[in-house]
Amino acid sequence: MKTRTRLGPGWAWVVLMVSGLMLAAPARAATEKYFDRSGRLVVVEKSAPELLRPYEMKKPVSEKTFPVAAPPFSEGIFPCSDCHADMTPNLKRRELVDEHTNIVLHHAEGQRWCLDCHNPDDRDKLRLVSGELIPFTESYRLCGQCHGDKFRDWKVGIHGKRTGFWNGDKEYLLCAHCHNPHDPSFKPLAPMPPPDRPGRASH
- Give dist(CA 96, CA 125) in Å, integer: 20
Torsion of CA 106, 107, 113, 116, to 10 degrees: -160
Our CB check for other proteins shows the closer of 118 and 147 to be: 147
CA distances from 89 to 93, 123, 125, 135 (A): 11, 10, 14, 19
- Give dist(CA 182, CA 63) in Å, integer: 26
Tell me how many residues contact other proteins (CB under 8 A).
48
Among 120, 173, 180, 181, binds other proteins (CB under 8 A): 173
Among 2, 37, 64, 94, binds other proteins (CB under 8 A): 37
Q: Does 178 bind other proteins (CB under 8 A)?
A: yes
Among 80, 159, 182, 184, binds other proteins (CB under 8 A): 159
Q: Does 196 bind other proteins (CB under 8 A)?
A: yes
Written as one letter, the residue type at 147 is H
Q: Does 63 bind other proteins (CB under 8 A)?
A: no
Q: Does 49 bind other proteins (CB under 8 A)?
A: no
Q: Does 28 bind other proteins (CB under 8 A)?
A: no
Q: Does 34 bind other proteins (CB under 8 A)?
A: yes
- Reference 175, options 188, 185, 164; nearest CA is 185
Q: Does 62 bind other proteins (CB under 8 A)?
A: no
CA distances from 8 to 12, 17, 128 (A): 7, 15, 55
Residues of this chain that interact with other proteins (CB under 8 A) are: 33-39, 41-42, 52-55, 57-60, 153, 156-169, 173, 178, 186, 188-197, 201-203
